Chain A
Amino acid sequence: MYGSLPRLCRGRVGVGASLASTDSQPMNAPAETFKSRAHDKLNDAKVQRAMRNFNLAGARARGIADLDNFEDIRTAAAAIRDRSLASLDLWLARFEQEATRRGTKVHWAETHADINRIVIEIARATRVKKIIKSKSMVSEESHLNDALEAEGFQVVETDLGEYIVQLAGEKPSHIIAPAIHKSRDDVADLFVQHHKTPRKTDIGELTMEARKFLREHFLSGEMGISGGNFLIAETGSLMLVTNEGNGRMTTTLPRVHVAITGIEKVLPTLEDASCILRLLTRSATGQSISNYVTLNTGPKQPGDLDGPEEMHVIIVDAGRTRLLGTDMQEALRCIRCGACMNHCPVYQNIGGHAYGWVYPGPIGSVLTPNYIGLENAIDLPNAATLCNQCGVVCPVKIPLPDLMRKLREKQVDRGLRPWQERLGLKLWAWVAKRPGIYALATRIAARLGRSMGGADRVIHRLPGNGWTEGRDMPAPAGKTFRELYAERKR
C-alpha cells in the first residue's frame, strides 16, 4: 500500500560509491529489530559517550523559564493545532488557493513513492543535475536521496549534521541534531576521506571547512529541496525555522525550489505561527527564536535579483490520514521540536538509530507503528517506561504515554504479541479464575522464590531473562498475602 515499505527491508540502495560506508549501519532496517539494535547501542562506547555529552534538556528548561505563562501558551498552541486538524481539508484547500494565486505549484502525494516520483518529474522537467537539500524529515521517510541518485541526480545535504551523516552513508539519529552520535574524530576522518584536506580536529575548523565546501554546492545547486515547518493558510506561505542559514540558501539561490511537508503542518494565520514559534524553538534548543525564520511565498517576482524561478510544495499523506479521527489523532499536533526524545530516559541511553525508522524517541514510538504498521514496529510502543517526561515537556500537549499504552493494547487486541507472552497471559488468566489453584500456585511460587534468595534474602539471578543482569530482586517472604491474612485473623 505504501510505496516505500519494501525498501525498509532491503539494504541501502542507489548510493554512490563515494558515499558508501563500511562500518556503520544505516537506519533502514525494519523497526521490528529494535531490541537487538538497542542492545548493540548500549554496548557501543561511542554512542554512549555521545549520549552523555548530549544535553538539550537543560537548554530547554532555561528557555522555558523565560516565559511567565508557559502552560497557558502551551494550551493555546495545542488548541491552534487542533483547530487545523479539525477542518484539515478546508485549511489545506485555503492554503492551496492562496499559494497557487502567488505562483506556487502545489502537489499532493498519497504515498512515499508519490513524493519521489513528483520530485523526479520536476527535476527532469527543469533539467537540473545538482540538487541541494536542507533538512526534510519527510524526505527521509521516502528515501528520496536514494531515489534521486538512482535516477542520476547529484544530491547534497547541506545542514551540517545531515551532511555528516550523508558522507558517512548513515541516517539521522535525532530530528534536530542528526549527527549527535558522531564524535569530532569521526567527522575529522570523514572530511579527510571526502574533502582530501589535512586532518583537523578543532570543531570550529571542521565547521569552517564544511562551510567552504558547502558554499560551492550552494552556488552551483540548480534545485533546492527543503522541508516545511509550517504552511500558512492565510498567505499561502511556507515557513522554515533554521539556525545555520542553509534553509535560506536552499530557497534563495537555486532556480527551482521544492518543499516537502506533511498534510498536518498547515496553520491558519501568521499570528498562530508566531504563537507556536515561541514554544518550538524553546522546546528544541532553548532559544527564544532560531536565527532564521523564513516565509517563502511563491517564486521570484519581476525585478527581483534573487529567488527561485519556480516554487513547488508537495503536501504528503503517506499514512497521516490513518491517524485522523482516531484515538491517535493527537500525535498529528507534533511540531517536531525533539523535546520528547531529549527528555526520554530510553532515548538518552540508546540514541536514535535503535528506533529503526525516521522518527526516534517517544514521538517515533507513536508515529512509526502508525505510519509503517503496528506489526512492523512491535517493540517501539514498549520502548518506554511511561515515566511521562515526554508528555510533560511536549509543547503541544501530546499525551505520548497514553498513546503508547493504546498502541500496546492494539498489539494485544490484534494478537501481535509474541506467542510466549500470549500463552503466559492466557495461563495466568486461567489460574486467576480458579481461587483454589491460584492459592496453591502462589504458595509454591512464594516458597520457591524464598529458597532462591541467598542469606541476604535477595535473588541475584532469575533464569530465562535478562531482568536480573543489571539489578537484584528482593526474595519473597515465603508466605503469600492470603496466608498471612488468614494467620492474623486467627
Chain B
Amino acid sequence: MSARESIVARIRAARAALPAMDETERAAIEGRIALHPIGTRPAMDWQLVPRFREQCVRMSSSVDDVASMAEVPRAIARFLADMKLPMRAVVWPEIAQLDWNGTGVTVEARAARGDDLVGITGTYLAVAETGTLMLLSSPSTPAATSLLPETHIAVVPQGRIVKAMEEAWALTRSERVELPRAVNFVSGPSRTADIEGQLQLGAHGPYRVHVVVVAE
C-alpha cells in the first residue's frame, strides 16, 4: 500500500466513512466550492477609499494621491527626491509605458535583481479592509519586483479598490480563468520582531512601501 493509500485508509477508518456516502459527500464538497459562501465577517460600514488610505498608513505604508495616470511619473519622481532615494527603478512593463521623460527617473522593465533599490509595480486589486495590495504574477507582472528592492512603489487605480479579500476573490473569479502561479497580498513593509520582540521594518523584503492612488 502506498503512503497515500494508508493515510487515506486511516482517515476513513477514523471517521467511519462509508463508500455508499462518498458520492453524496463529494457532491457536498463540489457544492461548497461552487458556492464558496462568504463566512461571518466584521461590520464594514466605512467608505472604501478613505478606509484603504487609513489602513495603508496603519500598516506603515505611505500614501500619495494623484488625479490621473499621466501624473504618476512626476509624483513618483517627487517622492524619490524627497526621500533621497535613487532616481532609478526596476518596473513592470505597464509602468514603463508611462511618460517618464523629464522626470529624471530611469525605469527598466526587466526581472528584479538582488541589488535593485527601487521597484515600481501596478496592482491587480487593493483591499480597503486591511490596506492591502493584491499582486498577481505573470510574465508582465513578475513577483520579485515588489520583493527584492528596498523601496516598493505601487500604483493603485482607485476603481480597483475593493472592500475585503472576499470581494477580491469574486472579482478574480470573474476576470481570470484560474489563479496565477503566485498571488501576493502585500500590506506595508516587511517586518520582524524576532529580537527581544522589538519591531523592525525591512527584515528581508522592502523597508518602505509607497502607494500612489490614482483618482481616475
Q: Could you tell me how many residues of chain B have their Cβ less than 8 Å away from some Cβ of chain A?
A: 77
- Interface 9-mer from A180-188, A362-370, A433-441, A482-490: A180-188
Contacts of A299 in B (CB 8 A): 181
- Interface 9-mer from A122-130, A302-310, A391-399: A302-310
| Selected contact of A252 from candidates B10, B38, B110, B182, CB within 8 Å | B182
Contacts of A218 in B (CB 8 A): 114, 204
Contacts of B185 in A (CB 8 A): 289, 292-294
Q: Please classify the interface of chain B as helix (H, G, I), strand (E, B), loop, or mixed, using the class held by over half of its residues.
A: loop
Q: Decide if B142 touches A304 in the complex (CB within 8 Å).
A: yes
Q: Output the least CB separation between A414 and chain B (Å).
A: 20
Q: Decide if B198 touches A245 in the complex (CB within 8 Å).
A: no
Whether B121 sits at the interface, judged by CB under 8 Å, is no
| Selected contact of A324 from candidates B15, B32, B144, B183, CB within 8 Å | B15
Whether A244 sits at the interface, judged by CB under 8 Å, is yes
Question: For chain A residues 125-162, which have a beta carbon within 8 Å of chain B?
Answer: 158-161
Q: Output the least CB separation between A289 and chain B (Å).
A: 4
| Selected contact of B188 from candidates A246, A252, A291, A315, CB within 8 Å | A291
Contacts of A302 in B (CB 8 A): 139
C-alpha spacing A72/B42, complex, angstroms = 9
C-alpha spacing A178/B181, complex, angstroms = 30
Whether A321 sits at the interface, judged by CB under 8 Å, is yes
C-alpha spacing A275/B139, complex, angstroms = 31
Whether B81 sits at the interface, judged by CB under 8 Å, is no
C-alpha spacing A295/B169, complex, angstroms = 12
Q: Output the least CB separation between B101 and chain A (Å).
A: 26
- Interface 9-mer from A36-44, A199-207, A404-412, A455-463: A199-207
Contacts of A54 in B (CB 8 A): 197
Question: For chain B residues 166-184, which have a beta carbon within 8 Å of chain A?
Answer: 166, 169, 178-184
Whether B2 sits at the interface, judged by CB under 8 Å, is yes
Give the nearest-CB partner of A208 in chain B: B202
| Selected contact of B10 from candidates A235, A244, A300, A317, CB within 8 Å | A317
Q: Decide if A295 touches B197 in the complex (CB within 8 Å).
A: no
Q: Output the least CB separation between B103 and chain A (Å).
A: 25
| Selected contact of B147 from candidates A87, A177, A252, CB within 8 Å | A252
Q: Decide if B36 touches A270 in the complex (CB within 8 Å).
A: yes
Contacts of A237 in B (CB 8 A): 179, 183
Q: Output the least CB separation between A161 and chain B (Å).
A: 4
Contacts of A326 in B (CB 8 A): 14
Interface string of A275-318 (1 = CB under 8 A from B): 10110000001001111111111111111111100000001010
Q: Which 4 A-B pairs have the closest CB atoms?
A: A245-B205, A325-B14, A275-B39, A303-B139
Give the nearest-CB partner of A110 in chain B: B3
C-alpha spacing A292/B205, complex, angstroms = 10
C-alpha spacing A178/B197, complex, angstroms = 11
C-alpha spacing A110/B11, complex, angstroms = 12
Whether B29 sits at the interface, judged by CB under 8 Å, is yes
Q: Can you pick out 10 interface pairs between chain A and chain B where the beta carbons lie within 8 Å of each other?
A: A50-B196, A76-B39, A180-B197, A211-B203, A274-B164, A289-B185, A294-B184, A294-B185, A296-B182, A307-B143
C-alpha spacing A371/B37, complex, angstroms = 34
Whether B192 sits at the interface, judged by CB under 8 Å, is yes
- Interface 9-mer from B63-71, B72-80, B130-138, B153-161: B130-138
Give the nearest-CB partner of A293 in chain B: B185
C-alpha spacing A300/B187, complex, angstroms = 24
C-alpha spacing A94/B30, complex, angstroms = 9
Whether B151 sits at the interface, judged by CB under 8 Å, is no
| Selected contact of A235 from candidates B4, B129, B179, CB within 8 Å | B179
Whether B186 sits at the interface, judged by CB under 8 Å, is yes
Question: For chain B residues 27-41, which have a beta carbon within 8 Å of chain A?
Answer: 28-29, 32-33, 36-41
Q: Decide if B144 touches A215 in the complex (CB within 8 Å).
A: no
Whether A468 sits at the interface, judged by CB under 8 Å, is no
Whether A193 sits at the interface, judged by CB under 8 Å, is no
C-alpha spacing A234/B37, complex, angstroms = 12
Whether B200 sits at the interface, judged by CB under 8 Å, is yes
Whether B215 sits at the interface, judged by CB under 8 Å, is no
Interface string of B6-38 (1 = CB under 8 A from A): 111011111111000010011011001100111
C-alpha spacing A210/B186, complex, angstroms = 22
C-alpha spacing A86/B16, complex, angstroms = 10
Give the residue among B29, B138, B144, B193 with the most A Cβ atoms within 10 A.
Answer: B193
Q: Output the least CB separation between A60 and chain B (Å).
A: 13
Q: Decide if A270 touches B169 in the complex (CB within 8 Å).
A: yes
Contacts of B204 in A (CB 8 A): 158, 211, 214-215, 218, 244-246, 249
| Selected contact of B187 from candidates A285, A291, A296, CB within 8 Å | A291
Give the nearest-CB partner of A245 in chain B: B205
- On whether A271 and B169 interact (CB within 8 A), knowing A203-B198, A296-B181, the answer reads yes
Q: Decide if B196 touches A246 in the complex (CB within 8 Å).
A: no
Contacts of A253 in B (CB 8 A): 144
Whether A251 sits at the interface, judged by CB under 8 Å, is yes
Contacts of B83 in A (CB 8 A): none
Q: Decide if A246 touches B203 in the complex (CB within 8 Å).
A: yes
C-alpha spacing A477/B106, complex, angstroms = 88
Whether A269 sits at the interface, judged by CB under 8 Å, is yes
Q: Output the least CB separation between A173 and chain B (Å).
A: 12
Q: Output the least CB separation between A240 and chain B (Å).
A: 10
Q: Decide if B7 touches A263 in the complex (CB within 8 Å).
A: yes
C-alpha spacing A23/B13, complex, angstroms = 47
Q: Decide if A73 touches B40 in the complex (CB within 8 Å).
A: yes
Give the nearest-CB partner of A299 in chain B: B181
Q: Decide if B59 touches A291 in the complex (CB within 8 Å).
A: yes
Q: Decide if A321 touches B14 in the complex (CB within 8 Å).
A: yes
Q: Decide if B10 touches A321 in the complex (CB within 8 Å).
A: yes
Q: Decide if A248 touches B143 in the complex (CB within 8 Å).
A: yes
C-alpha spacing A306/B22, complex, angstroms = 40
Q: Decide if B40 touches A55 in the complex (CB within 8 Å).
A: no
| Selected contact of B195 from candidates A179, A243, A278, A292, CB within 8 Å | A179
| Selected contact of B42 from candidates A56, A67, A303, CB within 8 Å | A67
Whether A164 sits at the interface, judged by CB under 8 Å, is yes
Whether A272 sits at the interface, judged by CB under 8 Å, is yes
- On whether A86 and B15 interact (CB within 8 A), knowing A233-B29, A289-B185, the answer reads yes
Whether A469 sits at the interface, judged by CB under 8 Å, is no
